[in-house]
Amino acid sequence: MLRALCLSAALLLPSAALAQEDLGDPPAGNYKLDLGHGRLLFRVSHLGFSRYTALFTKFDATLAFDPANPAAMSVTATVDATSLETHYPDPAVDFNALLTGPEFLDAARFPEITFRSTAITLTGEKTADVTGDLTLHGVTRPVVLKIVYNGGWGYMPLDPGGARIGFSASGTLSRSDFGVAYGIPEPGSTMGVSDEVEVIIEAEFSNPDAPKPQP
């Protein structure tokens, strides 16, 4: 709550006080996910009628950040598979339990989803493709996430998180590659839930131990 209040107060300051050049550039170091400003969503095609969207509420990540050598950076992440949230409106149906049950994620047997980066390829001034090993449903496969670096600051007095950086990421995977094939439509049909899964990530990382920029 304190962090949210501080950041809200920061947004009320005059824009000149929040100019990026006044706050310094985020330094190299190990940054941790700020879950209060992170979202991990996925989308699948439902009968061809909609891109059904759900999310995970519990996940963590650590980023070895090096703005001088972005290709050398690395990220590891863990997701609590039991934290899937569908916001299904009918209280008589536990849709979360269905999707985390044995026909889909089987979270009782595979409670953790992990990602470990193996390569970073710069695609632009603030974009990159991050290749990594995703372990899901007990199966490990390579996936590629498209990353956008949204910026950051080295130090902001009202931010108890210290140095802060933000990213947007997206990617796709085939759930059948990970042994989750229930309900995939027959070829030429949309009667079911798509094999293709779109992943959308919004994440802020902070480093309270980063040195303060010198005046």
Contact by Cβ (8 Å): 14, 22:
no
Residue 22 is predicted with a pLDDT of 79
Centre a 10 Å sphere on the Cβ of residue 214 and count the other Cβ atoms it contains.
Answer: 6
Question: What integer pLDDT is reported at residue 14 of this predicted model?
Answer: 47
Give the per-residue pLDDT at 8: 56
DSSP state of 162: B
- pLDDT, one tens digit per residue, over 50-62 is 999 999 999 999 9
Global pTM reads: 0.89
Look at residue 158 in the predicted model and tell me its pLDDT. 87
Q: Are strands 84-85 and 39-46 parallel, antiparallel or unpaired?
A: unpaired
Instruction: Tell me the domains of the chain and their CATH numbers.
Output: 2-6+26-207 (2.40.128.110)
Q: Give the model confidence (pLDDT) of 137-151 as tens digits.
A: 999 999 999 999 999
Nearest to 113 by CA among 138, 131, 89: 138
Residues in the chain with pLDDT values less than 70: 1-21, 213-215
Q: How far apart are CA 114 and CA 187, in angstroms?
A: 30
